[in-house]
Structure 1
Amino acid sequence: MLLLALDTATPAVTVALHDGAGVVAESHQVDARRHGELLLPAVDRVLREAGAKIDGVTGIVVGVGPGPYTGLRVGLATAAAFGAATGAPVHGLCTLDGIAYAAGQAGLDGPFTVATDARRKEVYWARYADPRTRVSEPAVDRPADIAERVAGAPVVGAGALLYREVFADVPDGDGMPKYVDAAALAALAAEKLAAGAEFLPERPLYLRRPDAQVPANYKVVTPK
């Protein structure tokens, strides 16, 4: 087994290679404006560090969001291209699930909530019984609108840190994840593959329409 995992649904451009026993190479850069510029060099760097080639990869793992339109599509398009070029299956995972898994690695048992920054003063979020078990569908809401629903349990992720005054319990100990990490995503995927579990389709979880819209009342020019 050789899994190439990548995610661009958050400001992190993150890539990792997992051989079924553990992560053998990884890259993690945070830059919300350079997903397209940074992703392919990161993949190349990870493969070279591991002494591997793309045609030796047996599976592609990609975070499907939720996340902003522009960044998210970079990772999904790249994963689809690698899958088509190599014939390796593409396995979709919820980006929030990767953060939850990393929170478990940092010592958080559950229950808890994962929240990432959705911009527009909103968060993408989901609730978890434990680091491997999501108990609600990913959603996008204003922090104040979900504060009561997630009260009584920790909230982790960049969205929690950004709205610390709204969420009552925001742990920020060593190793607590802010963004998704492909190393955690790859490890979770390896566990799911070993258990014969299902993956998500490699389709984006946008949860809302993109910012760019066709003008509603644009001028129509007809030939004379």
Structure 2
Amino acid sequence: MLVLAFDTATAAVTVALYEWTPGEGVRRRGAAESVDRRRHTELLTPSIAEVLAEAGAAPADLSAISVGVGPGPFTGLRVGLVTARAMGEALRVPVHGVCTLDVLAWASGRDEPFAVATDARRKEVYWARYEAAAVRSTGPHVGPPGDVRDGQPDDLPVIGEGAALYPEDLGGAPGQEPLPLLPAATALAELTCVRLSGAPGPGLLPPEPLYLRRPDAKEPGPRKKVTPR
């Protein structure tokens, strides 16, 4: 089966196409990566077309779509989710969601406790802790960088862009990069195939945004009554 994966929950616009054959494993067919916080809408659709062309595949060949559901800023996140749901409906294929922090954790390949932190703006991070690359122990949460290691060893490794942005709270040993910084759709596609195979771990999610904050915009309340003088 062909699985198209993409994530727009961070500054990265990342797309990958993987072929999964049960019992034989996964094979990368194509991938594209861009980093631009302001151009998710402009970059995603051309990137999907580029990846399909690289693999010599057409949209009708897809068996499933996988999309990062965040947490992440509303504007970028909804670009990926709306695109995934629209493609799934048009092609009549299942659409699966995966927590973006899980994608970063999976890409790290770590087998000891660590945390993942991404940029939540407002001097906060989205974060979760893991026992290993495929085992999340707590989260996702949003809050100050200091929350990530609260109650944990001071040297708990932290990966992701959040660690790079707040080295005073989340940095590791000098010269140690908190890689990977941003999610990659190659890891998203691999993780989706692993979960579809029934391997132990969290299941796939519906393609719904994983928001951890209330929206900034609010519906206006009723107009105040004006008392005649």
Partner of 1:91: helix, strand, or coil?
strand
Describe how 1:125-140 pairs up with structure 2 within 5 A: 125-140=127-142
Query: Do 2:128 and 2:148's aligned partners in 1 also have CA atoms closer than 8 Å?
Result: no
Residues 61 and 110 (structure 1), Cα distance of their counterparts in 2 relative to 1, 3 Å cut: same
The aligned residue for residue 111 of structure 2 is 109
Corresponding letter in the other structure for 1:93: V
Alpha-carbon deviation of 1:214? Answer: 4.1
Structure 2 gap segments, 5+ residues each? 21-25
Alignment correspondent of 2:39: 34
CA displacement at 1:217 relative to structure 2: 8.2
Deviation at 1:110, TM superposition (A): 2.2
Question: Deviations along 1:157-197, whole A, 9 cap, x unmatched?
Answer: 00011001112526417xx2111100000001111111266
Q: Which residue of 2 aligns with 1:202?
A: 207
1:46 aligned to 2:66? Answer: no
Structure with higher strand content: 2
The SS at the match of 2:149 is helix
TM-score between the two structures when normalised by the length of structure 1? 0.90
Larger radius of gyration: 2
Q: CA deviation at 1:148?
A: 2.7
- The C-alpha deviation readout for 1:91-135, integer Å capped at 9, x for no partner, is 11000000001111xxx3221000000000000000011001111
User: In the aligned structure 2, how far is the partner of 1:100 from the partner of 1:161?
Assistant: 16
Change (3 A) 1:163 1:51: same
TM-score of the two chains, using structure 2 as the length reference = 0.88
Q: Secondary structure at the match of 1:6?
A: strand
Identity %: 52
Alignment of 1:134-173 (within 5 A): 134-150=136-152, 151-169=154-172, 171-172=176-177
RMSD: 2.0
Aligned positions of 1:1-224 closer than 5 A: 1-20=1-20, 21-104=26-109, 108-150=110-152, 151-169=154-172, 171-172=176-177, 176-195=179-198, 198-214=203-219
Aligned residue for 1:138, secondary structure, equals: strand
Give deviations 1:140-165, integer Å, cap 9, x for gaps.
01012333334332000000110011
What's the secondary structure of 2:197's corresponding residue?
helix
Q: In structure 2, do the counterparts of structure 1 residues 36 and 195 end up closer, same or farther at CA, with 3 Å as the change threshold?
A: same
